[in-house]
Structure 1
Amino acid sequence: MKIIDWYILKRYLATFFVMLLMFIPIGIVIDISEKINKILAKKVPFIEVMKYYGDFTIYFANLLFPIFLFLSVIWFTSKLANNTEIIAILSSGISFTRFLRPYIIGATIVSLIALIMGVFLVPAASKGFNDFRYTYLKNNPETRQTTHVYKQISDNEFIYVSSFNYQTKSGYDFTLEKFDGNRLEYKIKANTIKWRERDSTYVLKGYSKRTVGQMEDKLVSLPSKRMKFNFMPDDLTPTIYAAETMSLGELNEFIDKERERGSSNINAYLVVLYKKYSIPISAFILTIIAVAVSAMKRRGGMGMNLAMGIGLAFTFVFFDKVFGTMAEKSSIPPIVAVWFPNVSFGILAIYLLRNARR
């Protein structure tokens, strides 16, 4: 690499990390100001608060990664343009494509960091971040209660729970049906079901089992019965952020299992999976757009470039959130919804790059 490559690459990475160090403390201060009353009222242990803000830092940085990257590239490239350094570089015979090389190298480094964070660090941070919120900050402990959960737990077994509470690990109106082909073998019902962690069993209150026979059915009723099933409490509590807390391997296995069970939340899990790959790719697209927008010296100076950059960055985040939600709630294929912002902004990047070369 030439001196100019090292010069631009160091500015690229330094500005990006300084931008993170500037905005993350601001985010923490705003978050503390909103939550301090609840934290003090519930006497949350100090160590738990420190863990929460460690997770918050990773979660927040990953969430606003596109904005931080976009603004940092626009910031230092606009300074290069205002100091006529870009004009000097291009006047020396270096093509605009060659000028982009250190930016692409920087985008590669940042995208690898984003990929590693998304696979290894963000899942654990997301779990800690959300668990803290639900444990200490939610006014209603029933918040993580799901209703009308239907699950296929094996090829021929189906369960239903009218409601299940994550905190108490208990549910109501439990039903399990086992089939032999299209014929019902037996049906288990219980008024309540509760998970016993110490021996990995369920306690069924108001238990009844109807076994379908050739001539007549067999009915067994008991006030209480302990049983083992091949499903876990997490299978009855499809928390919104469940997929966010898993590593890549765990997420793939989880999606395969949920697809076999006919889960209604499969699109939400696929959105999380595809975003692990789409966010790192966005580093290249946003870098090219930022350079194309800010490499030209404008009458409005750096302020005009930053205004354009902020508008484009928030448009990208808006597209990302809207289409992700649409994939979860509608029939839009998750892969289309997740990659649409990258594809549309990729086309914009090509257009802006062609204009910048002129």
Structure 2
Amino acid sequence: MIDKKNKKFSLSDLVGLTILDKYILKRYLATFSAMLLLFVPIGIIIDVSEKINKMIENKIPLSEIAIYYYHFTIYFANSLFPIFLFLSIIWFTSKLANNTEIIAILSSGISFTRFLRPYLIGASIVSVFVLLMGFYVVPKSSEGFNYFRYTYLRGNGKEAMMGNVTDVYRQINPKEFLYVNSFNAETKMAFNFALERFEKQKMVSKITATRIKWNPKDSTYTLYDYAKRTVGELGDTLERASEKEAKFSFDLEDLTPVVYIAETLSLHKLNDFIDKQKERGASNINVYMVVLYKKYSVPVAAFILTIIAVAVSSMKRRGGMGMNLTIGIAIAFGYVFFDKIFGTIAEKSTFSPFLAVWFPNMFFGVLAIYLLRNAKR
């Protein structure tokens, strides 16, 4: 008799995993982890070799470099996640096929659909992990990665970089337009500032200043060489001051690079930012929408790529594992290519960002169904 009081249940027992499920799931997660541990150091070595001269030239502190490569690891792994996952599944499933383990499993009466179960459980674990990382962890690492890159590596050092955000033109709301010649994110100062206000497609006022500085203590701006021109029916009025404090409806984030902002916001902040930009009638809203939709589409890709990888590599081929890896690499890079191309199209045109982001998943989802049917046969 079984002593029910002393019997211990593990998570796998509650889920109902068999020995086969545990075996495949363990290989799934272990190979994916090993693939990350293998390629991330390679990516770091390549990045160091490309940037070492710039780092030495700008005398970057080792502490800053260490923090950068911490953020680089997360940013790099998230960017190439589909490739790492796909190749890891191709690798260990091909080994199962070459060792005739899959033939033995299917010959025992287990259907191919049932054989897929541990793979889909593994994809679920990876998807949840990637989803949470994309919501909360990746934005912070993206900010650290981009900050280091723009600060130390683009230009002749920190000071040079921070002044490189030039010719910024933004629509603040349906009536106001903002322009600055350059913006320094470190000193919170912009140069050659202009704020124009329109009513019924006619300019009613224009504020200019040679410099404008953000004051974080009281959330105001200090304008230097301030001038305000108000357009009237009988004549214009002009107000001048060498220095003037004022409050405006725009935020400093309106002056920073578009992609840099979108990539560094968590899910909640990104949604709030998109709502704010829609209220302002921003013309470049597609850039933010692409980043938002990708937070959801990338985790879904784990399921699609898992099914494709199993369907491709579960058959024993003449070329062996090498042939499966060749096919796998071609499909994985094809997915990344589609993802980048359609994302760029949506950012630079009026093409639907939702369709652009989800098209690779839809296309490869159809491919996954087709390959899965052939594999079952």
Q: Is the contact between residue 146 and residue 238 of structure 1 (CA under 8 Å) also seen in structure 2?
A: no
The answer on 1:127 being equivalent to 2:177 is no
How far 1:183 moved relative to its partner?
7.0
2:178 aligned counterpart, secondary structure: strand
How far 1:228 moved relative to its partner?
2.3
Residue 268 of structure 1, aligned match among 264, 278, 287: 287
Alpha-carbon separation, structure 2, partners of 1:150 and 1:256: 16
Q: How does 1:106-125 map to 2 (within 5 A)?
A: 106-125=122-141
Where does residue 334 of structure 1 map in the other structure? 353
Where does residue 84 of structure 1 map in the other structure? 100
Task: Specify the code of the residue in structure 2 equivalent to 1:24.
Answer: V
Instruction: Identify if the C-alpha distance between structure 1 residues 308 and 180 changes in structure 2 by more than 3 Å, giving closer, same or farther.
Output: closer
The answer on 1:145 being equivalent to 2:165 is yes
Alpha-carbon separation, structure 2, partners of 1:148 and 1:325: 20
How far 1:210 moved relative to its partner?
2.7
Where does residue 5 of structure 1 map in the other structure? 21
Task: Specify the code of the residue in structure 1 equivalent to 2:326.
Answer: A
Task: Specify the code of the residue in structure 2 equivalent to 1:41.
Answer: E
Alpha-carbon separation, structure 1, partners of 2:88 and 2:237: 71
The answer on 1:255 being equivalent to 2:274 is yes
Task: Specify the code of the residue in structure 2 equivalent to 1:151.
Answer: Q
Task: Specify the code of the residue in structure 1 equivalent to 2:41.
Answer: P
Q: How does 1:1-358 map to 2 (within 5 A)?
A: 1-140=17-156, 141-142=160-161, 144-153=164-173, 156-178=175-197, 186-197=205-216, 199-213=218-232, 215-358=234-377
Query: How many equivalent residue pairs?
Result: 357
CA RMSD of aligned residues (A): 2.0
The farther-off stretch of 155-164 and 305-314 is: 155-164
The farther-off stretch of 107-116 and 174-183 is: 174-183
TM-score (norm 1): 0.93
TM-score (norm 2): 0.89
Q: Is the contact between residue 146 and residue 165 of structure 1 (CA under 8 Å) also seen in structure 2?
A: no
Post-superposition CA distance 1:101-142 (Å, at most 9, x none): 111101000111110110011000000011011111112525
Instruction: Identify if the C-alpha distance between structure 1 residues 327 and 214 changes in structure 2 by more than 3 Å, giving closer, same or farther.
Output: closer
Q: Which runs of 5+ in 2 are unaligned?
A: 1-16
Task: Specify the code of the residue in structure 2 equivalent to 1:149.
Answer: Y
How far 1:187 moved relative to its partner?
3.0
Q: Is the contact between residue 168 and residue 255 of structure 2 (CA under 8 Å) also seen in structure 1?
A: no
Alpha-carbon separation, structure 1, partners of 2:187 and 2:367: 50
Q: Is the contact between residue 150 and residue 161 of structure 1 (CA under 8 Å) also seen in structure 2?
A: no
Alpha-carbon separation, structure 2, partners of 1:300 and 1:118: 37
1:242 aligned counterpart, secondary structure: helix
Post-superposition CA distance 1:214-265 (Å, at most 9, x none): 6544321122222222222221223422111011010001111112222232
2:260 aligned counterpart, secondary structure: coil
How far 1:46 moved relative to its partner?
1.6
How far 1:331 moved relative to its partner?
2.0
The farther-off stretch of 59-68 and 199-208 is: 199-208
